[in-house]
Amino acid sequence: MKVCEHCGKEIYHAAAICHHCGNKVETETEVIEEKPVSDVSDKTLGIIAYITLIGFILALVLSNGRERSEFLKLQLSQALIITLCHIGGIMVPLVGWVLLIVVFFAWASALIFACQGKTKPLPVIGEFRVF
Ligand SMILES: [Zn+2]
């Protein structure tokens, strides 16, 4: 039961008008939580971003239209650079293959940090901020 703010008598919870004094009763306005465009958390998106180019694009699309956290921005930047280096490494023989090993370790460490939810930039790669 709630109480009328005009006469102080008990009224029905859902009542819009007090049945004692006839005054309008303030109805409790439901607090509608502002939902983000996607329900996927930044942490999940940060991890998805490292799962191939498709994952990166997916993370980019799903986080589109909402405020990206510093964490997600870092993951997206790093994922993009790692993906580009990966593609470059495949195309260039010998030198590229050495690069692929470096890329693999960078990718693995970045993925571990993302899984831990850490906003920890990788050396060199983390300095390039695309997002
Ligand atoms: Zn009243």
* Cα 30 to averaged position of ligand 1 atoms, centre (Å): 22
| Mean pLDDT value across residues 15-33 | 76
* Cα 62 to averaged position of ligand 1 atoms, centre (Å): 50
Say what the pLDDT of residue 32 is.
53
Secondary structure (3-state) at 27: coil
Tell whether pTM > 0.75.
Answer: no
Question: In the structure encoding, which two tokens stand for residue 67, read together?
Answer: 């405020």
* Cα 86 to averaged position of ligand 1 atoms, centre (Å): 72
The DSSP 8-state label assigned to residue 127 in this structure reads: G
Q: Where are the domains of the chain?
A: 1-32, 42-127
| Mean pLDDT value across residues 96-122 | 94
* Cα 11 to averaged position of ligand 1 atoms, centre (Å): 8
Q: Are 63 and 72 in contact (CB under 8 A)?
A: yes
Residue 36 has pLDDT above 90, yes or no: no
C-alpha span between 27 and 88 (Å, rounded):
62
